[in-house]
Amino acid sequence: MATALGQQRIAGPVTRSLSGARFDHLFFPGIAWLMLVTVFVGFAPSYYLAGALRAPLPSLAIHVHAVVFSFWILLLIAQTSLTVAGRVDIHRRLGIAGFILAGSMLIVGVWAATDQLARVSRVRDPLGFYIFPLANIAAFAILIVFACRARFDSGAHKRLIVVASTALMSAPIARWHLHGFLHTRVFGFSAPVAERLSYIFILLLVAYDLLATRRVHRATVWAGAFLITFQQFALIFGRTSVWHAFAGWVQSTVRI
């Protein structure tokens, strides 16, 4: 009887885990494809449907940025698909390439944001706006580091990847065909609203956790809270004289 009770105690958690894993194979590829659609809709007019590498983008930095960040979304699709197919071995090998790609995205993201700052910008407050791409790519990089550390904890790892990728979604969302709404005021309205709309991905993750496991995963809680807090702090700090002085110094330096 003791053996039977022990088996029941072990069997319960395993069953719940398998149930969650079964739904994982539906949810995480689905959210990866939703991010792909979000990016395509945002950048199709200016990049994908404009010839991609032949698109009339303003500089080399923006071209490189577009290619590298597109590769991240494609890698996200590939990684979730490999998990569904049971090819965890290939998934782990690609994970190394993904970590290298994420590191290059940090460099390219700063380069592209600084290049935009150096050029004549149509945004109302280019010095204040400069903090948005920097904050998003910094939050992405931090979350990717923790996702790499949690690579042997599948549940935490995949949730950290989703929240990290959410940090990149405000840029395409801000370029959706909703110009009368999102671009009424570029700074103080467009970027903040786009960021808040991107939190839909976090809300989907929370809803999935509740439906699949009846509780919100700890990685969803702390990663989501970190991203939202980090972005909202950047919104406030970007309006300060300290940030404007720093961004002005960067602008004057890169224009020399």
Per-residue pLDDT of the chain (256 residues; tens, 9 = 90+): 344 444 444 343 333 444 456 688 889 999 999 999 999 988 888 888 887 777 788 889 889 999 999 999 999 999 888 888 888 888 888 888 888 999 999 999 999 999 988 886 666 788 888 999 999 999 999 999 999 999 899 889 999 999 999 999 998 888 876 544 444 433 333 677 888 899 999 999 999 999 888 899 999 999 999 999 999 999 999 999 999 999 999 988 887 6
Tell me, what DSSP letter sits at residue 189?
A: I
**Whether the Cβ atoms of residue 72 and residue 168 lie closer than 8 Å to each other:** yes
d(CA 113, CA 133) in angstroms, rounded, equals 6
**Whether the Cβ atoms of residue 220 and residue 114 lie closer than 8 Å to each other:** no
Residues near 175 by beta carbon (within 8 Å), at least 6 away in sequence: 42, 43, 45, 46
d(CA 237, CA 255) in angstroms, rounded, equals 24
